[in-house]
Amino acid sequence: MIKNLFTLNALDISWVLLMIITSANAFVAETAEPSLAITAIICCSIAYKGRRIMDYFMELNHANETIQFFMRSYFHVFPALIFLTDLFSEELASLTTI
């Protein structure tokens, strides 16, 4: 009975992990000075959280491959773009100046 109460399945584990990562992000927001390393860590956390939600909550893990591809790409491309736009912010500004 006690064992059953404390049995976690993949959904429970995903929820716990997502809450921990969110708390860590909030801690970073309140304490860390901005740097490329912090940006890289946050980008990785975005990619991981996205993947976790897609695979376990949305159940894309073994679903249609086209949907999997586009959804997973989204959470590779945007974290990468966040990092790259921080890294090349001056170049981006000059490229987009009218």
Q: Which residues bind another protein (CB under 8 A)?
A: 3, 6-11, 13-15, 18-19, 22-23, 25-26, 28-30, 34, 38-39, 42, 45-46, 49-50, 53-54, 56-65, 67, 70, 74-75, 78, 81-82, 85-86, 89-90, 92-93, 96-97
CB of 67 to another protein, least distance (A): 6
CB of 3 to another protein, least distance (A): 6
Query: Which residue lies nearer to another protein by CB, 1 or 65?
Result: 65
The two three-digit tokens of residue 90, written as one number: 């001056």
CA angle 89–39–19, rounded 5-degree value: 145
CB of 50 to another protein, least distance (A): 5
CB of 9 to another protein, least distance (A): 4
Running DSSP on this structure, what letter comes out for residue 88?
T
Euclidean distance between CA atoms 48 and 77, whole angstroms: 13
CA angle 25–68–38, rounded 5-degree value: 20
Euclidean distance between CA atoms 65 and 19, whole angstroms: 28
